[in-house]
């Protein structure tokens, strides 16, 4: 998860000081999602409450992050990870940001001398499975704080598991937290990446979008959060005082680089 305000322990006994300074998130938004079910037709689905967490509920902001840290990410099963990118419209600005993030990761992996690469994404616009994936994303974001790891996790819908990709990226229509979710009960390991909708001026920025996508893809190739608020895999982050490196992205830490080499092999 990217741009987090704070982090807490699973038992809520300790939180970082930044929790107290967390800014309120936008008020709930109710939206109607339309997905194309067949040529010439559109299928409306039930409206979804896009309730964002606020400063009084830091655990909801960080729960997905904590599960990712506790569960970790598994090594890639193949040298190239296939990516399916689902977008609501062909003009969605997050499409370009996603391509930039993928190119950035491939450059970083090549620099480390590892064989793993992120494949050129297959882009699908207005997919008929978007409704099921949006509902699953909402279910995770609403329940993740209460979900233990393992058998109690909700099974991903068939519409998701039947997709032929190692990493499924949903450019969501919803104002929910971006996250990367290891699909439970799926072997070999695959990942569901959700990128939140851009609904306010402070998020409608190309630099922010490509960092959000790059951060979430970092989880899908094995990285967890680190304590550097100005690094790509930060958790929590301080984006207002962070500076990109020569690549145009926030840097990886030495520990991030070492973990990638450990997971994927390299020089």
Mean pLDDT of 72-100: 83
Give residue-wise pLDDT tens across range 219-266: 999 999 999 999 999 988 876 677 888 888 999 999 999 999 999 987
pLDDT band (50, 70, 90) for residue 112: very high
Please report which confidence band the pLDDT of residue 267 belongs to, taking 50, 70 and 90 as the band edges: low
Long-range contacts of the stretch 69-75 (C-beta < 8 A, 24+): 69/224, 69/225, 70/10, 70/149, 71/149, 71/182, 72/222, 72/224, 73/182, 73/191, 73/219, 73/220, 73/221, 73/222, 73/223, 73/224, 73/263, 74/182, 74/189, 74/222, 75/222, 75/263, 75/264
Residue range 163-215, pLDDT digits in tens = 999 999 999 999 999 999 998 877 788 999 999 997 665 555 778 899 999 99
169: left (phi over 0), alpha (psi -120 to 50) or beta: beta
Domain ranges for the chain: 17-264
| Torsion angles phi and psi, residue 30, rounded to 5 | -105, 125
Q: Over 70: is that where the pLDDT of 38 sits?
A: no
Select 17-264's CATH number: 3.40.390.10, 3.90.1170.50, 3.40.50.300, 3.40.640.10. 3.40.390.10
């Amino acid at each position: 998860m990217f741009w987090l305000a704070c982090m807490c322990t699973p038992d809520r006994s300790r939180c970082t000081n930044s929790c107290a300074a967390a800014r309120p998130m936008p008020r709930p938004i109710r939206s109607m999602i339309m997905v194309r079910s067949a040529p010439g037709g559109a299928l409306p689905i039930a409206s979804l409450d896009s309730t964002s967490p606020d400063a009084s509920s830091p655990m909801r902001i960080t729960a997905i992050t904590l599960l990712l840290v506790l569960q970790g990410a598994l090594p890639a099963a193949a040298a190239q990870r296939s990516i399916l990118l689902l977008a609501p419209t062909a003009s969605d600005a997050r499409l370009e940001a996603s391509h930039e993030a993928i190119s950035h990761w491939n450059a970083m992996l090549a620099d480390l001398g590892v064989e793993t690469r992120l494949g050129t994404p297959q882009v699908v616009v207005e997919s008929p499975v978007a409704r099921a994936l949006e509902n699953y994303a909402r279910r995770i974001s609403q329940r993740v704080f209460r979900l233990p790891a393992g058998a109690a996790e909700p099974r991903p819908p068939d519409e998701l598991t039947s997709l032929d990709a190692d990493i499924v990226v949903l450019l969501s229509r919803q104002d929910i937290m971006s996250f990367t979710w290891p699909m439970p009960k799926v072997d070999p390991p695959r990942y569901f990446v959700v990128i939140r909708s851009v609904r306010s001026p402070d998020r409608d920025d190309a630099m922010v979008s490509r960092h959000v996508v790059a951060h979430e893809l970092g989880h899908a190739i094995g990285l967890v959060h680190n304590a550097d608020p100005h690094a790509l895999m930060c958790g929590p982050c301080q984006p207002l005082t962070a500076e990109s490196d020569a690549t145009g992205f926030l840097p990886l830490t030495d520990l991030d680089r070492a973990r990638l080499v450990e997971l994927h092999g390299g020089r």
